[in-house]
Amino acid sequence: MIRFESVTKRYPDGTTAVDDLSLEVPRGGITVFVGPSGCGKTTSLRMINRMVEPTEGRILINDEDVADRKPARLRRSIGYVIQHAGLFPHRTVLANVMTVPTLIGWDKGRARTAAMEAIEKVGLTADQASRYPAQLSGGQQQRVGVARALASDPEVVLMDEPFSAVDPLVRTDLQNEVRRLQRELGITVVLVTHDIDEAISLGDHVAVMRQGGHLAQLASPGELLTEPADDFVASFVGKDRGYRKLGFTETQVEADPERTVSLGEDVPAGRGWVLVADEQEQPLGWVDRQGSGGPVQEEELHRMGSLAEVGDSARVFLDAALSAPSGRGVVVQDGRVVGTVTPERVLEAIRAQGGSDG
């Protein structure tokens, strides 16, 4: 859908920011440009909406050369989100989000409706719509930035390090939000980041770039982890890529049956770790019945560890097994306990599948 054809960008001072880049961003999904600082990610992104003009080569959107379109017109048809949101401080949130609909000439009522919809989509309230940017937190401002990019229903949204200025918790929230919006609206998102973890967890396609604006590899996150094209990609992806790869390995882990007990039930000593669940078979916690027996009290419950849902990746299963005090990870389906897995069982399943993806 977006095609770079031998695109080169040399800045007037002689820096070659992007060198002979050819790649295709598929329609739909999230394509991430990732690479070390200064490798030309931002430059590549900004050439799509002509914020930067290529020195050589061309960029096509739906087979149409962007150079043939008026820059302002082109940009109005493409969403644009940047690191510090770049909200207009003198306009309310609503007016900020109405910017593009107004620019493309929608009447006020329609622009307003579209803006309010976008504001709700990104999880802000109508009350917040009448505030000014300075009255919002950094994360909320970034949401407004996303809403402003979505208000006129663009097909393509460009995002340049949209989450790097917010704290990690908010970042995860925003990442999930963007992923959900992308799926819901079916838009094509091109996102720039220097954080390989973000690229892998968020991208459907990841373009790893290296210094000097060369494309090192364009692949799905799973492929990137299992088959890095060269040493640069391998080292950029990181030392624990083997472990992270598990996040993309759908493994059929057979859960062992686990008998649960309910609160107040008398459990004799010598049973070891026992899983406690409520009447709906929803797990409550673990209780230690090795040394002493007796009725299960709520106060003695140990925290659960993470849960694995049937169909989750091998990484989630392994994490559940490793984080449970009993050494048995709890597997649930629709919130109800279906059994537990030991680390050994997870590894067995991974090994059984190992042949297929190296």
Ligand X SMILES: Nc1ncnc2c1ncn2[C@@H]1O[C@H](COP(=O)(O)OP(=O)(O)OP(=O)(O)O)[C@@H](O)[C@H]1O
User: Which residues in this chain contact ligand X in the complex, by CB under 6 A?
Assistant: 11, 13, 15, 17, 37-43, 194
CA gap 146, 21 in Å, rounded: 28
Q: Taking CB within 5 to 8 Å according to partner kind, which of other proteins, Mg ion, ligand X, none is near residue 315? A: none
Near other proteins in 150-179, by CB under 8 A: 158
Q: Taking CB within 5 to 8 Å according to partner kind, which of other proteins, ligand X, Mg ion, none is near residue 39? A: ligand X
3-state secondary structure of 58: strand
Of the pair 137, 235, the CB lying nearest other proteins is at: 137
CA–CA distance from 225 to each of 231, 234, 318 (Å)? 12, 8, 18
Q: Taking CB within 5 to 8 Å according to partner kind, which of ligand X, Mg ion, other proteins, none is near residue 14? A: none
Q: Are 118 and 79 in contact (CB under 8 A)?
A: no
Of the pair 118, 215, the CB lying nearest other proteins is at: 118
Q: Which of 142, 173, 176, 137 is nearest to 160 (CA)?
A: 142
Q: Are 304 and 258 in contact (CB under 8 A)?
A: no
CA gap 59, 256 in Å, rounded: 54
Stretch near other proteins under the rule CB under 8 A, chosen from 4-12, 120-128, 143-151, 230-238: 143-151
Asked if 69 touches other proteins (CB under 8 A), the answer is no
> How big is the chain, counted in residues?
358
CA–CA distance from 139 to each of 130, 135, 152, 171, 175 (Å)? 17, 12, 22, 8, 11
Asked if 11 touches other proteins (CB under 8 A), the answer is no
Asked if 236 touches other proteins (CB under 8 A), the answer is no
CA–CA distance from 275 to each of 57, 157, 240, 325 (Å)? 63, 47, 32, 11
Q: Are 35 and 93 in contact (CB under 8 A)?
A: no
CB of 77 to other proteins, least distance (A): 8
> How is the beta sheet containing 56-61 ordered, strand by strand?
16-25, 2-10, 56-61, 64-65
CB of 97 to ligand X, least distance (A): 26
Q: Taking CB within 5 to 8 Å according to partner kind, which of ligand X, other proteins, Mg ion, none is near residue 17? A: ligand X
Give the contact letters, 142-181, x = binds to Mg ion (CB under 5 A), - = no: ----------------------------------------
Sign of the C-alpha dihedral, residues 191, 194, 196, 198?
A: negative
Of the pair 195, 204, the CB lying nearest ligand X is at: 195
Of the pair 18, 349, the CB lying nearest Mg ion is at: 18
Of the pair 101, 247, the CB lying nearest other proteins is at: 101
CB of 45 to Mg ion, least distance (A): 8
CB atoms within 10 A of CB 199: 26
Near other proteins in 183-212, by CB under 8 A: none
CB of 25 to other proteins, least distance (A): 18
**In 11-77, at which residue ranges do the beta strands (DSSP E only) sit?**
16-25, 29-34, 56-61, 64-65
Of the pair 23, 51, the CB lying nearest other proteins is at: 51
Q: Taking CB within 5 to 8 Å according to partner kind, which of Mg ion, other proteins, ligand X, none is near residue 247? A: none
CA gap 238, 214 in Å, rounded: 19
Asked if 42 touches Mg ion (CB under 5 A), the answer is yes
Binds other proteins (CB under 8 A): choice among 13, 72, 184, 268: 72
Placement of tokens 């030392």 in the chain: 239
Contact partners, residue 73, CB within 8 Å, separation at least 6: none
Binds other proteins (CB under 8 A): choice among 29, 86, 123, 343: 86
Q: Are 57 and 5 in contact (CB under 8 A)?
A: yes
Of the pair 84, 180, the CB lying nearest other proteins is at: 84
Give the contact letters, 97-136, x = binds to other proteins (CB under 8 A), - = no: --xx--xx---------------------------xxxx-
Q: Taking CB within 5 to 8 Å according to partner kind, which of other proteins, ligand X, Mg ion, none is near residue 89? A: other proteins
Binding residues for Mg ion, rule: CB under 5 A, are 42
